[in-house]
Amino acid sequence: MCFLYKDLLIALFIARNECACNPVLFFAILSNQRSGSGWFETLLNSHINVSSNGEIFSVIERRKNASSVLLTLDTVYNLDWLNSASKNECSAAIGLKWMLNQGLMEHHKEIAEYFNRKRVSVIFLFRRNLLRRMVSLLANSYDRYAKLLNGTHKSHVHSAEEADILSKYKPTIDSTLLLDDLKDMEMRAAKVLEYFNNTRHKILYYEDLVRNPNKLKHVQEFLGLPRLELTSRQVKIHRGPLSELIQNWDDVNKTLKGTVYESFLEADY
Ligand SMILES: *[C@@H]1O[C@H](CO)[C@@H](O)[C@H](O)[C@H]1NC(C)=O
Ligand SMILES: *[C@@H]1O[C@H](CO)[C@@H](O)[C@H](O)[C@H]1NC(C)=O
Ligand SMILES: *[C@@H]1O[C@H](CO)[C@@H](O)[C@H](O)[C@H]1NC(C)=O
Ligand SMILES: *[C@@H]1O[C@H](CO)[C@@H](O)[C@H](O)[C@H]1NC(C)=O
Ligand SMILES: *[C@@H]1O[C@H](CO)[C@@H](O)[C@H](O)[C@H]1NC(C)=O
């Protein structure tokens, strides 16, 4: 017999059996589209003790107002959310993936308060190279219409061949808006960090995760998980130098030269 939160006791005893006494950590991955969060979540879900329930707030109804947001969060963290990622009673970390443009910025006050009350830990996942993110955004929205892979839209792929087909499309970037767009992306990230500064959190960058396997160990530590090897079948779509991925490269190069974003031109990831 063990004593947990009173209101969860009965539910846990029915649902969690052998692991009923193991502590459960709640988390939320806060990220932006095309920043590697899909890949990151599949890595986490390859851990036997993790249930990350995906982009629950992509459904507009659930983020209509602050109360519908909090109700939805309750469903997840009271372990009532059933889908393919829900594993078994032995989940030691339970969470979801949440894009900044899915009600998070509008209702940040109520959400931060909720996170602090429920002891939800936050993982921020950002991309350092915002120009690469822009390429991925443009290519992804192009594919939504063009559907290059046998008529189906694929935002994530599982083979190098598929990745090659998708990356053949070279977007043109509006260089007159480029500096402002990059600045906006930066400001949003700074803002959300400020909003959730009092919440237990960890900041991750996609590029660091790709290059440094130790980062995933730190994530498991942060989530209080036994350390395991994590795997994903997802394949990176855009590889190689950006000069080969952008239609109007010279234009973009000229626009960013000598600005704080100049390093985005070079980095090869
Ligand atoms: C929030 O949205 C839900 C679902 O649409 C609705 O039933 C509820 O009345 C709304 N609550 C407030 C406070 O606006
Ligand atoms: C992880 O899952 C395994 C298998 O279901 C279970 O035996 C173990 O107790 C779980 N670990 C934690 C920390 O919950
Ligand atoms: C498209 O479909 C054909 C026939 O089913 C298959 O052979 C081919 O591999 C598919 N191509 C891609 C990129 O999925
Ligand atoms: C978060 O809070 C710490 C300590 O109060 C402060 O030093 C830091 O500048 C804050 N960061 C942001 C992004 O607001
Ligand atoms: C950008 O343009 C300059 C010339 O202005 C050129 O020297 C440099 O190689 C270009 N950078 C890239 C990454 O293509």
Tens of pLDDT, residue by residue over 111-140, are: 999 999 999 999 999 999 999 888 888 877
Does the pLDDT at position 36 exceed 70?
yes
Q: Which residue's CA is the closest to the ligand 5 atom numbered 5? A: 254
Q: What is the rounded CA–CA span in Å between residue 151 and residue 138?
A: 18
Number of domains in the chain: 1
Mutate to test the pocket of ligand 2, among 16, 18, 19, 24 (most ligand atoms within 8 A of CB): 19
pTM here? 0.84
CATH code of the domain containing 212:
3.40.50
pLDDT band of 83, cuts 50, 70, 90: low
What lines the ligand 3 site, CB under 6 Å?
149-150, 162, 165
Domain boundaries, position 187: 4-265
Does the pLDDT at position 94 exceed 50?
yes
What are the counts of helices (DSSP H) followed by strands (DSSP E) for the chain?
11, 5
Structure letter (DSSP) for residue 122:
E
Residue type, 160: A
* pLDDT tens column, 154-210: 778 777 777 777 777 788 999 999 999 999 999 999 999 999 999 999 999 999 998
Q: Report the first-to-last Cα separation within the chain, whole angstroms.
A: 51
